[in-house]
Copies of this chain bind each other. A is one copy, B any other.
């Protein structure tokens, strides 16, 4: 991990861009740090960090103000990272199926999501190795985001993740629903009930599958991007309960 830029945002947040190999990432920390902080990995939406930045920063600011370090990395195939022909094809198939109002075949979801999860999860774990080696970061570690299948596998396989806020806003392969049974950490799932580009039943099946003794589903209205501010505050309090 190599820091390449550093700027101070107006509310005493230090924003540092870094490269993890050739994967771009951003680390946000309070300007003044007195002791090693807990860390939140903020999974981005698959828009590219540049396009996702404004909404991502809205999620990040209150966390840093609360005393967390927050980090994100670019997803495979997003931003400037090389696209995958298979994923592009699957995305086109998904959009066609949604436009036709029909069900989305499992094969399309698998082709779109599983290679992304296979590639992204090791990258997030490598980022975590390097982030936890920084003197200002101590842990524990939460995951918040993003593509829910990535967060689900990460929570299932990496024991350093202590608690996860998961956004049920994307299609989920059946195989990931099976992996969710191995997740035992506290999970807090956000679902936009009227998300027009999502499969609500799949999200409920995934929530049902989590093996966690403590799991919470918060469903709200407002469409895919309309998570209400109070839902963000509730997710923040979930992290306070588990990371502080």
Contacts and interface: CB of A to CB of B under 8 A. Distances in A.
Nearest to A217: B219
Given A193-B208, A208-B193, A221 B217 contact: no
A217 B218 CA distance: 6
A10 interface: no
A207 interface: yes
A128 to B, nearest CB: 27
A215 interface: yes
A216 interface: yes
Nearest to A238: B230
Interface in A196-244: 204, 207-208, 212-221, 228, 230-231, 234, 237-238, 241
Interface residues of A, number: 21
Contacts of A216: 218-220, 228, 231
Given A193-B215, A213-B221, 18 more contacts: A204-B204, A207-B219, A214-B221, A215-B220, A215-B221, A216-B218, A216-B219, A216-B220, A216-B231, A217-B217, A217-B218, A217-B219, A217-B220, A219-B219, A230-B237, A230-B238, A230-B241, A234-B234
Q: Which 5 A-B pairs have the closest CB atoms?
A: A217-B219, A216-B220, A218-B218, A215-B221, A234-B234
Interface of A: 193, 204, 207-208, 212-221, 228, 230-231, 234, 237-238, 241
26 contacts: A193-B207, A193-B215, A193-B217, A204-B204, A207-B219, A212-B221, A213-B221, A214-B221, A214-B228, A215-B220, A215-B221, A216-B218, A216-B219, A216-B220, A216-B228, A216-B231, A217-B217, A217-B218, A217-B219, A217-B220, A218-B218, A219-B219, A230-B237, A230-B238, A230-B241, A234-B234
